[in-house]
Amino acid sequence: MEKNKWKLLCMVLGSAMMFSMAGCSVQNSENVVTTAASAVTTEKRADMQATDNQEPQERGELIFWDKSEYVEGYNTMMKAKVDAFAQEHNVDVNYVIIPAADMKQKLLAAIEAGNAPDLIVGDDTLVGQFVSMNQIADCADVFAAIDFTDNAKILGTFNGKEFLVPLAFMAPGMYLRMDKWLETGMDIPKTWEDLRKGAQIINDPANGFYGMGFAMGASGGGDAEGFCRTIILDWGGIPVDENGHVTVNSPETLEALKFIADLYEDGLIPPDAITGDDSWNNSAYLAGTVGVICNSGSVVSSMKAENPELLENTQIIAYPAGPKGTAYTLGGANVFGVFETGKNTETAKEFIKYYFADLDNYNNMIEAMGAMWQPVVKGVDDTEFWKNPVNAGWLANSKSTYKTYYPAPSDERATVSFTNQLCVKAVQEIVVNKTDPQEALNQLEAEFNKIYK
């Protein structure tokens, strides 16, 4: 018994000593243990044993929190550019990659604590929220220095000023399972009604296949709300007009909401769509369990890596039109956000200008990202890549894409009403709580009015 007690104690103390000793040695070699995709160049503000390693001469500093992308090539190439910038401009850049799920919480905590990064990349609705928290710097000077397309400039305007510097468009596309659609004998659907008819024919829930896989979850993403708004606009409804008046409660919107609710209630969409987050429709399509989804080009990248056969059976079609004949595509973009509260705002802006100065590199990154990215600057459209009919559709979509909260003016009320997923929640009221559609629409109007008071 004595032996066992000693065994425990020795085990515990020994391991602790071993680990702390090893820990010290690992710490010194920590900077060496990295992979190409995500190395940290320097860790000036590393840990509590911060050894004093100030360089003798004045070096600038830049803290850059980049978005983590499925396509690793993106982060690798961005880091390469960052390293080159660091060399040429004598700056210490702390480049880290933040996963999507963590970005907002880390940013909020960092802002509260006063150690926010200087530069971030995120999608426009995310960074837009920080504008309304007075965190993002005005980048009119950056816009003046770079040749953005008109559509890109519209995207970057927020509250009347140019805060969000576009990095790349993320245009949406409609993915159709051609092998299934051919069974319907119909042409490529030109209207939502056509799509619905075709979906009904191929719908086979008993065998685990649903005609449609549109996102309908309110777990904080953008896919579902984007889908609802697209239908509303196509039906002629206008959630908030260009003067900021709430005009959502109209017969057109009512018809639109009923249309979406019917799709779900007719069993054309898997029931789990209701609780899915943004990745739900991706997974559903990749699993081969749905016939059509609306998404950015991320699914193409996933298919290339994991399911090339599915890619062959997929066709990207133009968005179908609603009863009014209009077919809206709503999309977003990846943008740079320069933090005003960071210490190195000017350096961050320098980097952005530096980045766009090298159009070849930009082009390479676009091609690496495949269908996920479309250019925001002039001068990179005319390449072999975009001439390829497979890719041309994405480019066309990016040029005709409206902002996700179109036609409301670009301000925090628009981003808040979008990120709070008001329209999705109204549809959920109808299908889950069996609320009368007009009643749900009245509630929706009330919610909008709370934000647009």
Binding to other proteins (CB under 8 A): which residues in 10-29?
A: 11-13, 15-16, 19-20, 22-23, 26
DSSP string, 245-267: -B---SHHHHHHHHHHHHHHHTT
To other proteins, the closest distance from the beta carbon of 353 in angstroms equals 26
Secondary structure of residue 78 in the 3-state scheme: helix
Span of 155-163, 173-181, 279-287, 373-381 interacting with other proteins by CB under 8 A:
279-287
Which of these ranges, 53-61, 250-258, 284-292, 373-381, lies near other proteins under the rule CB under 8 A? 284-292
Which pair of structure tokens corresponds to residue 107?
Answer: 């940013």
Q: Counting contacts by CB under 8 A, is residue 98 touching other proteins?
A: yes
Q: Which of 147, 241, 242, 306 binds other proteins (CB under 8 A)?
A: 306
Nearer Cβ to other proteins (113/144): 113
* Footprint (CB under 8 A) of other proteins, residues 105-124: 105-106, 108-115, 123
Distance CA 450, CA 453 (A): 6
Q: Which helix (H) or strand (E) holds 165?
A: strand 165-170
Strand partners, 176: 292, 315
Verify binding: residue 295, other proteins, rule CB under 8 A: yes
Q: Which of residues 271, 378, 383, 392 is near other proteins by CB under 8 A?
A: 271
Q: What are phi and psi of 335, to 5 degrees?
A: -130, 160
User: At 134, phi and psi to the nearest 5?
Assistant: 60, 35
Per-residue contact track with other proteins, 173 to 202, x per CB under 8 A?
------------------------------
Cβ neighbors of 199 (< 8 A, separation 6 or more) are 211, 212, 268, 291, 292
Distance CA 322, CA 434 (A): 25
* Closer Cβ to other proteins, 226 or 322, answer by number: 226
Which residue from 78, 118, 124, 135 is in contact with other proteins, where contact means CB under 8 A? 135
Number of residues forming the site for other proteins (CB under 8 A): 107
| Interface positions, 394-453, toward other proteins (CB under 8 A) | 416, 419-420, 425, 428-429, 432-433
Chain center to CA of 378: 23
Strand duo 60-67 + 91-98: pairing: parallel
201-220 positions binding other proteins, by CB under 8 A: 205, 207-210, 217-220
Which residues are bridge partners to 114 per DSSP? none
Q: CB of 127: closest distance to other proteins in angstroms? A: 13
Return d(Cα 17, Cα 215) in angstroms, integer.
52
CB of 414 to other proteins, least distance (A): 14
30 touches other proteins by CB under 8 A: yes
**Is residue 130 close enough to count as binding other proteins by CB under 8 A?**
yes
Which is nearer to other proteins, 34 or 90 (by Cβ)?
34
Q: State which of residues 39, 84, 145, 311 lies at the interface with other proteins (CB under 8 A).
A: 39
Rounded Cα gap, residues 134 and 428, in angstroms? 33
How far apart are CB 289 and other proteins at their closest, in Å? Answer: 4
Least Å from the CB of residue 316 to other proteins: 16
Backbone angles phi, psi at 72, to 5 degrees: -60, -30
Q: How far is the CB of 191 from other proteins (least distance, A)?
A: 27
Longest alpha-carbon distance in the chain: 85
Return the residue matching tokens 């993320």. Answer: 170
Task: Give the Cα-Cα-Cα angle 365, 369, 370 (nearest 5 degrees).
Answer: 120
Out of 10, 80, 182, 305, the only residue in the binding site for other proteins (CB under 8 A) is 305
x/- map, 56-95, other proteins, by CB under 8 A: ---------x-xxxx-----------------------x-
Among 274, 333, 380, 408, binds other proteins (CB under 8 A): 274
| DSSP sequence for 356-377 | HH-HHHHHHHHHHHGGG-B--B
Count of other CB atoms within 10 angstroms of residue 176: 20
Task: Enumerate residues 326-345 that contact other proteins by CB under 8 A.
Answer: none
